[in-house]
Amino acid sequence: MIRIELLKLTTIRMFYLLLGSAAGITALFSILEAALSGGVGKNKPAAVYTVSGFHSVASGGIWAMIFAAVLGVTIATGESRFHTATLTYLAVPARGKVLAAKIAVGAIAGALFTLTGFVISFGSAIGFVLGRGHRIPVSALELARLGGGYLLAGALMAVVGVCAGALVKSQLAAIVGVLVWATIIESVIGGLYHPIWPYLPYTAVSTIAGIPIGGAAFGPAHGGSDGTPLPVFAAAAVVAALAAVFAAVASRTTLREDIT
């Protein structure tokens, strides 16, 4: 079933469109951040050859995480959009197993998305540092640790997307919900109520990737907290629990609905 779901995913254009969009936006923002770093002015980012400046440029990979969640939604809702759910459930009547296969494929594809974002964002930071004649301010071990965090973050974001899509079923509504939550609602809630910010799902995922609280926020809340992030395993548990709740509710509601 996982092999079939992978075949479905890799034979539709949406997968490559989302991956290309994630790569392009990540490259754009990472390069712009690096080019502006070290300039004169209060709002200019720190020099890219400093630890804070390096991580600021490398945080461009947050876009790949958001696109991983969107991809997860398309994996779950594609059956409804293209009216293939009837054939799928005739072949595999146990709908929970179908959802489990989609979750597994979403985790794999999400990790691929954030691996791409990691390579582009950190590659941009490293390129600018070396191009300006400086040494890379973080160790190879730290880069490897951050790379692992990006892989886990992408897998979790995609799994949440799959489970949310299975619950909502409407592809457009689920995608809009994911984007609005990540770019607006969570930034507003986190900016207003700092103590709960580390427990919000998108923030928890971004801290797994080594991005400080507020570093992945948008608007006025961007970089607006000096709070303590959750430990990696605790953050992963928070996001996994959310996905499990979505999956459990979907299994008792939308997955049982008549599709004929």
Whole-number pLDDT of residue 91: 85
pLDDT of residue 223: 59
| Chain length of the chain | 260
End-to-end CA distance of the chain: 22
Where does the pLDDT of residue 226 fall: very low under 50, low under 70, confident under 90, or very high at 90 and above? low
The pLDDT > 70 percentage for the chain reads 92
pLDDT of residue 88: 83
Q: How far is CA 163 from the centre of its chain?
A: 14
Question: Cβ distance 245 to 253 under 8 Å?
Answer: no
Greater confidence (192 vs 154) lies with: 154
77 or 256: whose pLDDT is higher?
A: 77
Rg (CA), the chain: 19
pLDDT at 38: 67
pLDDT for res 222:
61
Q: What is the pLDDT of residues 37-55, one digit of tens each?
A: 765 555 666 788 888 888 8
How many of the other CB atoms lie within 10 Å of CB of 53?
Answer: 22
The predicted structure's pLDDT at residue 247: 92
Tokens for 206, please give them: 């971004």
Q: What is the pLDDT of residues 89-148, one digit of tens each?
A: 888 888 889 999 999 999 999 999 999 999 999 998 888 888 888 888 888 898 899 899
pLDDT of 227: 67
| Cβ atoms of residues 220 and 192 within 8 Å | no
